Structure 1
Amino acid sequence: MGEEKQTDIKQLKSPINKEIMNIAWPVLIELVLSSLFGMINMMMLGNIADHAYAAAAVSAVGVTNQPLFLGLSVVQALNIGGTALIARYFGAGKHDRMENVMKHVMIISMILSAPLALAAFVYSDQIMTFMGAQPDTVEVGRLYFRIICISYLLQSFNFSISGSLRGIGETQIPMGVNLRANFLNVGGNALLIYGLFGVPAFGIEGAAISTVVANTVACFLLIRYLRSGKSKLNFSFAHPFHFSMKTMKSLAKIGLPSALEQLVLRSGMILFIQIVSGLGTVVFAAHNIGMNILTLSFTLGQAFGIAASSLVGRALGAGDANLAEKYASRTAKIGSLWGAIIGVAFFFGAEYIVSFYSSDPEIIRNAAIAIRVAAITQPFQSHQLIVAGSLRGAGDTIFPLISTFLGILIIRVAAATFFVQVLGLGILGAWLAVMLDQIIRWFLIAMRFQSGKWKKMKLA
């Protein structure tokens, strides 16, 4: 027993664990607090005095989030390519190539984002109706959707910078910038949603205006840091941009499967939401609260997945596949343990957590059902997200696409249709479908990692 304890302590203090935590903890804090701020924003809308307006506002945010997340996911997929490529160049000591890669990602992000934002602005009503929104939700959410499209453009640009910095392990800067922006966003929401200190109460539109301002500030701060010369990633607008077909091919090799994966993921989510939204505004509001809380648990897997991606990419860039495997395995173990702890907290604290969002007993009852099902899924979800991050860091993005296609677009949608529309299980059936999807994806991703094929991926 004494020897086992000593081994555990050594592992805890090992250089690998320190490297993992040095990259993961700023990302984790950033993502957790961003999720908490998002939760607070949802709580603010859910606690507007007019219960009918509040339910429609919460539903409107849930409905509009999915098409916007679809657009952001395409940009994030491109960033995965940029992160992996920059990590490889950083590990191989080819620092002079990193700036041009980042500029490719910045430019392509904006080329992809602008048409999507314009389409969402012009066809806001049609998109919300297609998503299954009730007429009251469309009416309340129309202007919110149009304003938030501006924020989407800024957020896309910010993602390209943050993704590049994470490739070289500089995760504390995006954390600091996003924390400041989110504090500003929450303060602005309180001011503009409720109309404090003599400011008119804008309701849901106030939340959108506050988000645009916050993302504008974040954009300014990120650019200022890049131009300060403090980063290992050199950047200057004065340095000429050199278009490189080789860079484009490398980004496409990693980014296109990731983009398709995100398109599949969001398409599946849209179909899933159409099924759940048919249960009525109150149940759909409860579902959105459940998803909002679930986002907090996703951040754990995402943070350690980003750390694994950066470390695996750098190790493979340095030609050390064994070290890459150690990084991946250790990161997955740490993340899964914390996932289990979060699951316990969710299961036993469900009603208490939901009560912060709404005082409506029907919403609390339905959302608590969703959270308890999600609690059981936590260890599988965390492990799957982290190992998938390791595969992406190696450039192995095809298999995460396959697992997402099978899990979300087939298993989740089919199971939700059966559980909700055939068996009539309501919100319980919808979330059982989520659990089934996560477990199947966990199994597929774990099998791919065990095969070791990801170690042989060539990026550039």
Structure 2
Amino acid sequence: MSDDARVDMTTGAITPKLFALAWPLVLGNLVQTLYNLADMFWVGRVNAEAVAAVSLMFPTSWMFVSVAMGITAASVALVSQYVGADEQRQADHAVGQTVLLTVVMGLALASIGFAIRYPLVSLIGAQGQVFIYSMDYLEPILAAIPFTFLFFAFRAVLRAAGDVRTAMWLVVISAGVNVVLDPFLILGWTLVEGAPLIGTISFPAMGVRGAGVATLISRVLAALIGLGVLLNGGWGVRLRIPDLRPDREVLTELVRIGAPGSADGLARSFAAVFFAALVARFGPIATAAYGIGVRLMSVSWTVSGAVGQATATGVGQNLGADTPDRAEEVARKATAATMLFLFAVGALAFVFPARAIGIFVDEQAVIEEGVVLLRIMSPFWAFTGGLMVVQGGFRGAGQTTQAMALSLASRWLFRIPVAWLLAYALAWGVAGLWWAIVFSGVVTFVIGAAWFNRGNWREGVVDTEPDVAAGDD
């Protein structure tokens, strides 16, 4: 990648550089979010039970997929280091070991998922038709796990090599295929009717299973394209067949580096599944409203997550340049801008909640419950977004333990117990669950901001002075 494409956050006006750094990340995250919105939109044309099933199974499937997050983080660390050190052969070898580990883990988790799918869905609380729909959706999603892992891994190693555009195109292709296939496979649309020679081409109405099959097909296609790109080797790194032979040292390093990220991802996914189970106890209407609300909130998370990544880069660069005051200014401006944007988005959702929910479903009971959810939660979206940016600041400073602690506290300390207390012990009903999400977001943001303001992160992790005690290490 040329120097012109690099954003240097250590000089110049901070705000325009933050924007230049963040908008490609925002665009990528928005395209990825299109998966979820498309599934929910077309599944909403089936019935409320179908929406409830997808709402329950989405966090359940991510409980498995979250393991890939640690692998991709580790692959980025190794591949980018080797590329930066101009050790291309070692970078390619790390790519091969990443693919090997990805395939093994993907196949193992898919097998485990199939083995426990019935008790797992029952444990979450799906019953009756929702249980049947949940199984219809989950089975193809489990089959897609190895390809999803490869999809994530290919994007990660391409980004590590500096090729963001090809990684982006993998997302666009996968999301585009998923969006196009959804109505044909879910509702049984006709592609061609009465054409000469070929006649009529129509698809069976698969319902909820069609949403899962569409995702499976899109992920298989993206994985195959990514495999072709890496085998070609013209995009910065190459997958060489001999590098697929197990290398214990490299595999151990991938596992060691990736374990914390996978553990954090699993903990967050377990929390999402547990919370979905609490919602499921209030029936399919509440579950459907929750699923739609989560999708709407995911748009705001997409923006704040991308700005958090940009903040990590800005903070890291400035600490490396020994300008901690500027690093703090990057974090403050990014947090303020994100929260202002999300306050505006939340205001729109608060004013037009029925219209927002009605995009995905036309059942009045679901819309009414969704209105209650958005009226409670949308004014506070900015706090969750602000927290994500603060966590990005910690990560940029190398303080990943603090970022993980905030993530775990938000879900397992301030959300799950408070949700049970409000909804069940104090009998607030399903509204208590929505207030628990609000409470966890606000409290954790206040703690995170106060923690960040203490300034312990300002020392950074790069020693710019000669290491006189290196021999004593």
Shorter-normalised TM range: 0.7 to 0.9
Classify the secondary structure of the residue corresponding to 2:66.
helix
One-letter amino acid of the counterpart of residue 46, structure 1: G
Aligned residue among 249, 253, 264 for 1:261: 264
Match of 2:194 in 1: none
Q: Which moved more, 1:236-245 or 1:216-225?
A: 236-245
Residues 383-432 of structure 1: CA deviation (Å, up to 9, x unaligned): 21123234334543222222222221121111111111123323321111
Residues 102-121 of structure 1: CA deviation (Å, up to 9, x unaligned): 44443333333222211212
Match of 2:104 in 1: 111
Q: Is residue 84–residue 309 contact of structure 1 (8 Å, CA) maintained in 2?
A: no
One-letter amino acid of the counterpart of residue 33, structure 1: V
Q: Which moved more, 1:264-273 or 1:431-440?
A: 264-273
* Structure 2: unaligned runs, 5 residues or longer: 1-8, 191-201, 464-473
Aligned residue among 43, 49, 53 for 2:41: 43
When normalised by structure 2's length, the TM-score is 0.83
Match of 1:223 in 2: 227
Structure 2 CA distance, aligned partners of 1:95 and 1:333? 41
Match of 2:23 in 1: 25
Structure 2 CA distance, aligned partners of 1:99 and 1:320? 33
Structure 2 CA distance, aligned partners of 1:430 and 1:205? 29
Structure 1 CA distance, aligned partners of 2:270 and 2:226? 31
Shift of 1:70: 1.2
Q: Which moved more, 1:400-409 or 1:244-253?
A: 244-253
Match of 2:5 in 1: none
1:292 paired with 2:290, answer no
Q: Is residue 194–residue 203 contact of structure 1 (8 Å, CA) maintained in 2?
A: yes
Return closer, same or farther for 1:446/1:289 CA change in 2, 3 Å cut-off.
same
1:208 paired with 2:208, answer no
Shift of 1:250: 7.3
Structure 2 CA distance, aligned partners of 1:251 and 1:458? 24
Residues 46-69 of structure 1: CA deviation (Å, up to 9, x unaligned): 122xxxxx2221121122222211
Match of 1:430 in 2: 433
Shift of 1:264: 2.0
Structure 2 CA distance, aligned partners of 1:260 and 1:271? 16
One-letter amino acid of the counterpart of residue 57, structure 1: A
Match of 1:301 in 2: 304
Structure 2 CA distance, aligned partners of 1:309 and 1:97? 27
Return closer, same or farther for 1:195/1:327 CA change in 2, 3 Å cut-off.
same
Percent of aligned pairs sharing the same letter: 20
1:353 paired with 2:356, answer yes
One-letter amino acid of the counterpart of residue 268, structure 1: A
Aligned residue among 61, 67, 70 for 2:60: 67
- Which structure has the larger Rg over C-alpha atoms? 2
Q: Is residue 276–residue 430 contact of structure 1 (8 Å, CA) maintained in 2?
A: yes
One-letter amino acid of the counterpart of residue 64, structure 1: M
* Structure 1: unaligned runs, 5 residues or longer: 1-10, 49-53
Q: Is residue 301–residue 385 contact of structure 1 (8 Å, CA) maintained in 2?
A: yes
Return closer, same or farther for 1:313/1:14 CA change in 2, 3 Å cut-off.
closer
User: Where do residues 364-443 of structure 1 align in structure 2 (5 Å cutoff)?
Assistant: 364-443=367-446
One-letter amino acid of the counterpart of residue 226, structure 2: L
User: Where do residues 151-230 of structure 1 align in structure 2 (5 Å cutoff)?
Assistant: 151-167=144-160, 170-197=163-190, 198-230=202-234
Q: Is residue 34–residue 175 contact of structure 2 (8 Å, CA) maintained in 1?
A: no
Return closer, same or farther for 1:300/1:213 CA change in 2, 3 Å cut-off.
same
Return closer, same or farther for 1:56/1:29 CA change in 2, 3 Å cut-off.
same
